[in-house]
């Protein structure tokens, strides 16, 4: 293999640049050239590509976002769009594609491989941590820190006013960020999509916390929980009459300089993705499980669900006594 291509796709995640850097430099160490594709699959079917050398990724390991830009592409969902992309990859003499992104991006890469025979390796990059086959995804650790920082700040104002704060964190279908933030932020309760408990239950929880002498409370809601934080906040206000505020943290959780765990994970996985292509692997995601590098067939990463830590869920409850 003489040349590989790399792209970032779907929602950006802190640490994607560290992963691109690792791909470029690991490849260079093996005498392999790297073609950077801009704007994910959207750019691939338009041929937005250029060579990336080791010096081009200098001063990027600490930067949030993605220097290659990203997009969610509609055209890529069509066989015609993918055929265009495959044509460009062939023109550039690319022998394998590394896709840094989440499950939607892996779908896109998998179809390309199936239809056009171009080997694809996935690198898990999403703040949601919702991919089966890796303990953590690139960006997750930073997103948790960013959300936690916001929760701590909201706690200051919430405690001063003796209010209930309902805080929504990201996680389209997953409660991983919510659970971590709930435990680390000392939340009263946490609502996640993996356990759709009835929204009314929050009224009893808040009433009990008041009876225990708590003046204010933090309640964490994952975006994917039905109705989100607004519905939970409305239920509290209606059911208890207590002064409640809702705060939706949103895209701030996707930005910022990656924390060390994300940089290290990205560096290891970017390097592993290059070696995987050299070994003739294809259609797998490189992941990190119990400290070791693992290879999971791409369809399994989205077909098998990654469970949240039930132990953490239990712990959050116990500690809010
Ligand atoms: O997948 C990452 C994520 O940040 C989810 O948590 C969120 O639901 C979604 O992306 C938001 O997507 P967009 O940036 O397209 O609004």
Could you tell me if 16 and 121 lie in one domain?
yes
Q: For residue 119, give Cα distances in angstroms to 17, 131, 278, 289.
A: 22, 20, 11, 23
Could you tell me if 147 and 123 lie in one domain?
no
Give residue 93's pLDDT.
98
Q: What is the CATH number of the domain that holds 121?
A: 3.40.50.450
SS (H, E, C) 29-67: HCCCEEEEECCHHHHHCCCCEEEECHHHHCCCCCCCCCC
In a domain, 126, yes or no: yes
Please say if 307 is a catalytic residue.
no
For 51, the domain range is: 3-139+258-303
With a Cβ cut-off of 6 Å, ligand 1 is lined by 11, 102, 126-128, 170-172, 223, 254
In a domain, 320, yes or no: no
The phi and psi torsions of 162 (rounded to 5 degrees) equal 55, 50
d(CA 101, CA 105): 6
Could you tell me if 262 and 147 lie in one domain?
no
d(CA 162, CA 43): 50
In a domain, 312, yes or no: no
Could you tell me if 196 and 121 lie in one domain?
no
In a domain, 308, yes or no: no
The preferred substitution site among 64, 104, 106, 128 for testing ligand 1, maximizing ligand atoms within 8 Å of CB, is: 128
Residues contributing to the annotated binding site for Mg(2+):
103
In a domain, 221, yes or no: yes
Secondary structure class of 177 (helix, strand, coil): helix
Residue 240 contacts by C-beta under 8 Å, 6 or more apart in sequence?
Answer: 164, 203, 206, 207, 210
Could you tell me if 135 and 265 lie in one domain?
yes
Could you tell me if 132 and 266 lie in one domain?
yes
- Tens of pLDDT, residue by residue, the chain (321 residues): 999 999 999 999 999 999 999 999 999 999 999 999 999 999 999 999 999 999 999 999 999 999 999 999 999 999 999 999 999 999 999 999 999 999 999 999 999 999 999 999 999 999 999 999 999 999 999 999 999 999 999 999 999 999 999 999 999 999 999 999 999 999 999 999 999 899 999 999 999 999 999 988 999 999 999 999 999 999 999 999 999 999 999 999 999 999 999 999 999 999 999 999 999 999 999 999 999 999 999 999 999 999 999 999 999 989 999
Let me know: does 58 contact 49? Beta carbons within 8 Å. no
d(CA 13, CA 177): 13
d(CA 60, CA 68): 11
The preferred substitution site among 10, 71, 107, 172 for testing ligand 1, maximizing ligand atoms within 8 Å of CB, is: 172
Give residue 196's pLDDT.
87
The phi and psi torsions of 69 (rounded to 5 degrees) equal 65, 160
pTM: 0.97
In a domain, 204, yes or no: yes
The phi and psi torsions of 9 (rounded to 5 degrees) equal -145, 155
Could you tell me if 180 and 235 lie in one domain?
yes
Domain edge (last residue) among 215, 232, 255? 255
d(CA 119, CA 124): 17
In a domain, 219, yes or no: yes
Give residue 254's pLDDT.
98
Could you tell me if 191 and 278 lie in one domain?
no
Could you tell me if 128 and 83 lie in one domain?
yes
How large is the ipTM? 0.97
Could you tell me if 216 and 270 lie in one domain?
no
CA 101 to chain centre: 8
Could you tell me if 27 and 127 lie in one domain?
yes
CA of 11 to the centre of ligand 1 (A): 6
In a domain, 321, yes or no: no
Q: What is the CATH number of the domain that holds 224?
A: 3.40.50.460
Domain count, the chain: 2
Residue 251 contacts by C-beta under 8 Å, 6 or more apart in sequence?
Answer: none
Catalytic residue among 12, 128, 180, 262: 128
Could you tell me if 10 and 135 lie in one domain?
yes
d(CA 293, CA 277): 14
Give residue 41's pLDDT.
98
């Amino acid at each position: 293999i003489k040349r590989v291509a790399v792209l970032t796709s779907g929602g950006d995640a802190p640490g994607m640049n560290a992963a691109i850097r690792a791909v470029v430099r690991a490849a260079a160490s093996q005498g392999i050239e790297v073609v950077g594709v801009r704007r994910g699959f959207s750019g691939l079917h338009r041929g937005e590509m250029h060579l990336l050398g080791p010096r081009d990724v200098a001063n990027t390991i600490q930067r949030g976002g993605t220097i290659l830009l990203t997009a969610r592409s509609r055209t890529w969902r069509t066989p015609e769009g993918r055929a265009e992309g495959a044509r460009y990859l062939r023109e550039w003499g690319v022998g394998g594609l590394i896709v840094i992104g989440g499950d939607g991006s892996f779908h896109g890469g998998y179809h390309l491989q199936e239809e056009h025979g171009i080997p694809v390796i996935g690198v898990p990059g999403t703040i949601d941590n919702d991919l089966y086959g890796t303990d953590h995804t690139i960006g997750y650790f930073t997103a948790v820190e960013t959300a936690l920082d916001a929760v701590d700040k909201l706690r200051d104002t919430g405690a001063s006013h003796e209010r209930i704060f309902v805080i929504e964190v990201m996680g389209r279908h997953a409660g991983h960020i919510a659970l971590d933030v709930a435990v680390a932020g000392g939340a009263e309760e946490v609502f996640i999509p993996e356990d759709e408990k009835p929204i009314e239950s929050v009224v009893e929880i808040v009433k009990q916390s008041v009876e225990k002498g708590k003046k204010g409370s933090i309640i964490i809601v994952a975006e994917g929980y039905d109705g989100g934080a607004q519905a939970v906040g409305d239920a509290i206000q209606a059911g208890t009459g207590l002064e409640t505020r809702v705060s939706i943290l949103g895209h701030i959780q996707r930005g910022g300089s990656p924390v060390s765990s994300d940089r290290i994970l990205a560096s290891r996985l970017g390097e592993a993705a290059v070696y995987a292509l050299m070994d003739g692997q294809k259609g797998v995601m490189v992941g990190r499980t119990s400290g070791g590098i693992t290879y999971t067939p791409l369809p399994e990463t989205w077909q098998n669900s990654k469970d949240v830590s039930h132990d953490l869920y239990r712990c959050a409850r116990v500690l809010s006594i």
